[in-house]
C-alpha cells in the first residue's frame, strides 16, 4: 500500500520538481529541438517536453505508466495546441503499427524501463525509415570510482526511485541495439544525450 502510494502518486510529483530546473530544461531543449513529424514520447510524465518541441512536430503519442503524471499533463497539452494521445503504459510494448512514427523521444526514462532491450527493439520497429531516437538520460559513469559507487547504491536506489537504474550504460546499450548512432555526447557530471538514426 505504501509502496503503491509512493510509486503511483508521490514519485511522479517529485520527478516533476527534480527534473524541471533551468539546466534540465536546457538539456531537454537540445534533445527535443530536432524532433519532427509524428513523435512517440516514452516516459511522457506530466508533459514537460512539450514546450521544447518545434513547430515541425505534428502530434505526440505518449507512453506513460503513471496516471497522476498523465493527469498533471492536461495544462501543457492544452498549451501545446497539437494532438497528444496516451497510447500505452510500457515502452517495451508499444501499441502502434510498424514504421509509423518519425521520432522517438526518451528523457530520463530508459533508466527505469524494466525490459530495456525489448523497448529498444520496439523503438526500432515503430520508427519510419530515416526516423530517429532522441534521448536524454543519466548513465553509468565512465569514471571507475564513480561507477563503483553507482553500482553499490543501486539496490537501495531502485526501491525509492521507481525502479531507476544508476548502473545502466545507456549510450552503450543504444549503440549495441542498432548499427548506426548518428551522434552521441557524454560528459562526466552530465547526462547522456544522443540521436540514433533509424
87-108 tens-digit pLDDT: 999 999 999 999 999 999 999 8
Per-residue pLDDT, 74:
95
Residue 8 confidence class, pLDDT cut points 50, 70, 90: low
Q: Which domain holds residue 164?
A: 2-197
Count of the separate structural domains present in the chain? 1
Residue 3 confidence class, pLDDT cut points 50, 70, 90: low
Q: What does DSSP say about strands 192-197 and 183-185: parallel, antiparallel, or unpaired?
A: antiparallel
- Return the H-helix or E-strand segment holding 88: strand 84-88
Calpha distance 70→133 (Å, rounded):
22
Residue 133 confidence class, pLDDT cut points 50, 70, 90: very high
CATH number at residue 23: 3.40.50.150
The answer to whether residue 160 scores a pLDDT higher than 80 is no
Of 27-36, 42-51, 101-110, 173-182, the least confident: 173-182
Per-residue pLDDT, 143:
87
The answer to whether residue 139 scores a pLDDT higher than 60 is yes
Closest to 40 measured CA to CA, from 119, 115, 108, 103: 103
Amino acid at each position: 500500500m505504501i509502496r503503491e502510494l509512493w510509486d503511483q502518486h508521490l514519485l511522479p510529483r517529485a520527478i516533476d520538481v527534480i527534473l524541471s530546473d533551468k539546466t534540465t530544461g536546457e538539456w531537454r531543449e537540445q534533445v527535443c529541438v530536432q524532433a519532427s513529424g509524428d513523435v512517440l514520447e516514452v516516459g511522457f510524465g506530466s508533459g514537460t517536453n512539450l514546450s521544447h518541441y518545434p513547430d515541425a512536430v505534428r502530434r505526440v503519442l505518449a507512453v506513460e505508466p503513471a496516471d497522476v503524471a498523465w493527469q498533471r499533463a492536461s495544462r501543457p497539452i492544452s498549451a501545446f495546441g497539437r494532438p497528444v494521445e496516451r497510447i500505452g503504459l510500457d515502452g517495451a510494448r508499444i501499441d502502434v503499427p510498424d514504421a509509423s512514427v518519425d521520432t522517438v523521444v526518451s528523457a530520463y526514462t530508459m533508466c527505469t524501463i524494466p525490459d530495456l532491450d525489448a523497448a529498444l527493439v520496439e523503438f526500432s520497429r515503430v520508427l519510419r525509415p530515416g526516423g530517429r531516437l532522441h534521448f536524454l538520460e543519466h548513465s553509468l559513469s565512465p569514471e571507475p570510482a564513480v561507477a563503483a559507487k553507482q553500482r553499490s547504491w543501486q539496490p537501495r536506489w531502485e526501491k525509492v526511485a521507481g525502479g531507476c537504474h544508476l548502473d545502466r550504460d545507456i549510450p552503450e546499450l543504444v549503440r549495441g541495439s542498432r548499427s548506426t548512432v548518428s551522434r552521441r555526447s557524454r560528459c562526466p557530471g552530465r547526462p547522456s544525450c544522443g540521436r540514433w538514426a533509424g
